[in-house]
Amino acid sequence: MVDESRRVLVTGGAGFIGSHVAEAFLACGDEVLVVDDLSAGDPANVPQGASFKQTDIVDRQALADLFGAFSPTAVCHLAAQASVTASVKDPAHDLSVNVVGTFNVVDLAKDHGAPVVFASTGGALYGEHALRPSAESTWAEPLSPYGASKLAGEAYVRTWGSLHGLGNVVLRLGNVYGPRQNPHGEAGVVAIFSERLRRGEPVTVFGDGHQTRDYIYVADVARAFVLAVTAAAPSDASLTTFNVGTGEESSVLDLLDTLQGLAPARVERVFEPLRPGELTRSCLDSSRLRSALGWAPATRLGEGLAATYSSYSGA
């Protein structure tokens, strides 16, 4: 049964995934505070009913003031530098946001006795040589500073949970897609393809297009956050890290073919070299999350792609 007095602080809640997470908690009747520096987020994404504060998680004092005023009972930490290519170009900034910022969040949450559910990465963490679908026990071999910083963030989340008796949880996400994903950045191939197809513009494919990802719909991810907060975290620290994916590999060209079928006209495909730090294959085994929290993806890829394309095309 959901505690009606929950106060959930969502960092990065003006962003793509974070805004859906905030919505999911509001739907449960919880009080929600969204914290976002708007470097990538959009105030228009903050759901109605949530409070909003524009704050950088690297600013320890400003963040402490927000924690003190709101006194959260749970924290969902999604604020991050989330671009693999940007992390390669500026690893110091990636380190600052994803490691120092995460430390600030978990340390302040500890002062309020609030468990943290941390949005980490699956594919960027497990590396090129992992068995697929990759389980949580897979040795981490990140190829990019982004993957390395997320691994370091995970360590603080788990260690602070163990040290201070909090039910901290790490969710290693697959390639999340859905409405409100930014089609103008470097990340989010579904959003980028959808926007280009809607405009009838050429689509750029990096690599040969046969590289695969585990594409997971954003509503399924948001439900995993709610379950992680609602359920008591296992006492065994090795069981507080969960993959969130479908367990299915889909290639970039398969993705593009499906989206092209939804568009009014065919567009040109331009192939460019694969960017530094990017994987050729990725797929996650989420059976642990299914067993522990009863989670399973509810949205098939074709259904999710249609809903996403419609959100950009206005159809």
The dihedrals phi and psi of 39, each to the nearest 5 degrees, come to: -70, -30
- pLDDT at residue number 239: 59
Closest CA to 102 of 68, 46, 60: 60
pLDDT of residue 4: 58
Closest CA to 126 of 115, 137, 110: 137
Per-residue pLDDT reduced to its tens digit, 184-193: 765 689 999 9
| Domain at 7-175+216-244: CATH architecture | 3-Layer(aba) Sandwich (3.40)
Distances, alpha carbon 148 to alpha carbons 154, 245, 278, in Å: 10, 20, 13
Kindly list the domain boundaries of the chain, sorted by start residue. 7-175+216-244, 178-213+247-313
Strand pairing class (212-213; 241-244): unpaired
267: CB partners within 8 A, 6+ apart: 196, 197, 200, 201, 202, 203, 260
Structure tokens at 66: 């927000």
Mind listing the pLDDT tens digit of every residue in the chain (315 residues)? 344 579 999 999 999 999 999 999 999 999 999 999 999 999 999 999 999 999 999 999 999 999 999 999 999 999 999 888 889 999 999 999 999 999 999 999 999 999 999 999 987 888 888 889 999 999 999 988 999 999 999 999 999 999 999 999 999 999 999 999 987 765 689 999 999 999 999 999 999 999 999 999 999 999 999 999 988 554 454 558 999 999 999 999 999 999 999 999 899 999 999 888 788 899 999 999 999 999 999 999 999 999 999 998 654
Q: Rounded to whole angstroms, how far apart are CA atoms 246 and 91?
A: 30
What's the pLDDT at 290? 95
pLDDT of residue 93: 97
Cα 242 from chain centroid (whole Å): 13
**pLDDT at res. 80:** 96
pTM of the model: 0.94
Please name the residues in contact with 300: beta carbons below 8 A apart, sequence gap of 6 or more. Answer: none
Q: What is the pLDDT of residue 127?
A: 81
Distance of CA 304 to the CA centre of its chain: 16
Instruction: Report the CATH fold assignment for 178-213+247-313.
Output: UDP-galactose 4-epimerase; domain 1 (3.90.25)
- Which residue type is seen at 288? R
- Residue length, the chain? 315
In the chain the first and final C-alpha atoms are separated, in Å, by 38
My answer on whether omega of the bond before 72 falls inside 30° of 0, hence cis, is: no
Q: Which of 126, 146, 177, 309 is catalytic?
A: 146
Distances (CA, A) of 151 to 3, 169, 171, 176, 198: 31, 13, 12, 18, 36
The pLDDT of residue 82: 86
Q: Which residue has the tokens 């530098």?
A: 81
Say whether 146 is catalytic: yes
What pLDDT does residue 278 have? 80
